[in-house]
Amino acid sequence: MCQRRWPGWHVVPTEPRIVVLGGGIAGAATAFGLIRRGAMVTVVDAGLPGQATAAGAGIVQPWSTEREGEFARWYAEGAEFYPELLSRLTGLGAGDIGYRRNGSLIVDADAEVLAAVAERVARRSAGSVVAGQLRMLTPAEARQHFPPLADGLAAVWISGGARVDGRLLRDALLAAVRQLGGSVVTGRGELDGAQVSVDQHVLPADAVVVAAGAWTPQLLARQQVSVPVQPQRGQIVHVHVDADTSGWPSVVPPGDHYLVAFDHGRVAVGATRESGTGLDARITAGGIRSVLDKAIAVAPGLAEATVGEIRVGLRPLPTTDLPVLGSLPGLPPNVFVCTGFGAAGLTMGPLLGDRLARQILGN
């Protein structure tokens, strides 16, 4: 085994040296899963604008999705994994990652739609301690949970619905990697076969994980490997209200948008789903107008909220039914891929990154 040193490596010949390309939720979770099982890990992150993890609103509520099959199963298992993940991070001294199980409201004016949602959630969450309780709420009861809601919107209440701050979670995972002896390098990683270089420095590696999100196809282009992932731009607006929002639930109305409350009066509203934009992480007038129009239609009480930060994330949208996890045809057997979570990254990313780590190390 090569003994060449790189800053942050503690060279122990019996431990596999693994380089993870990408510092978003996929890369950070995989790196943490690897290093806590004894591997030596270096994370390489380019720090490019548009990282989906840094922009994501952070809803952790998979049980109401209309998706079926293995995706729905992975999605639900991702939410079930959070208590274990939090326990491990807390044991390493991690601070608050913004994870709260404040509940989730699936709102609609159509009673038949909500009845179908309730049936689906009940079926998927049966036996789940994390999912909690399921209850139908009248419009007045729904507004007690989320005061800005429009009149006439009844809800399915899922008590275990949660949210997490993607930036804080990513930072906690990377801090844990450092604490356990790994390193995090800022720079553009290049992959040639199974060899990784950063700024012309070759990193010793027994295995490589490519977890570069929407940039994964670009990173693997030299390998002439097709990755079934395309960027999808999501624009999200954070507004501030004069209220204690720390206990407010997330709100999922009809369509593909949402409202997610955090502490200190902050509510994230979004998001656009713009395919065909490539790696363009710009904020656009049309995108922000769309986000705010939909948010105010569902929650008119937000009309007087103060507009704060606007975030843009480039989701790695899979062009197949499932994320891309493991090896791909055409890649060396010691090169693995972890991407393609789409809008579900902050829910299933921690679980699937940990599973990939287990696979790589032969567990």
**Integer angstrom CA distances of residue 148 from 71, 122, 211, 221, 303:** 33, 27, 38, 47, 9
282 - beta bridge partners?
none
Q: Which two tokens stand for residue 357?
A: 């780590």
CA pair distance 238, 234, nearest whole angstrom: 13
Burial of 139 (0-12, 13-18, 19+ CB in 10 A): middle
Residues 78-98 as b/e (b if ≥16 CB within 10 A, e otherwise) read bbbbbeebbebbeeeebeebb
Q: Where are the alpha helices (DSSP H) in 68-227?
A: 69-91, 111-125, 139-145, 166-179, 216-219
Chain CA centroid to CA 329, Å = 26
Amino acid making up residue 125: S
Determine the 3-state secondary structure of 136 from DSSP: strand
Find tokens 């994870």 and name the residue. Answer: 99
The answer to whether the CB of 156 falls within 8 A of the CB of 117 is yes
CA pair distance 112, 96, nearest whole angstrom: 39
One digit per residue, pLDDT tens: the chain, 363 residues? 333 333 343 344 468 999 999 999 999 999 999 999 999 999 999 999 999 999 998 999 999 999 999 999 999 999 999 999 999 999 999 999 999 999 999 999 999 999 999 999 999 999 999 999 999 999 999 999 999 999 999 999 999 999 999 999 999 999 999 999 999 999 999 998 889 999 889 999 999 999 999 999 999 988 889 999 999 999 999 999 999 999 999 999 877 889 999 999 999 999 999 999 999 999 999 999 999 999 999 999 999 999 999 999 999 999 999 999 999 999 999 999 999 999 999 999 999 999 999 999 987
Q: Which domains does the chain have, with CATH numbers?
A: 17-360 (3.50.50.60)
CA pair distance 301, 140, nearest whole angstrom: 14
* Residue 346 CB contacts under 8 Å (≥ 6 apart), including other chains: 25, 53, 56, 58, 59, 60, 164, 166, 169
What is the number of residues in the chain? 363
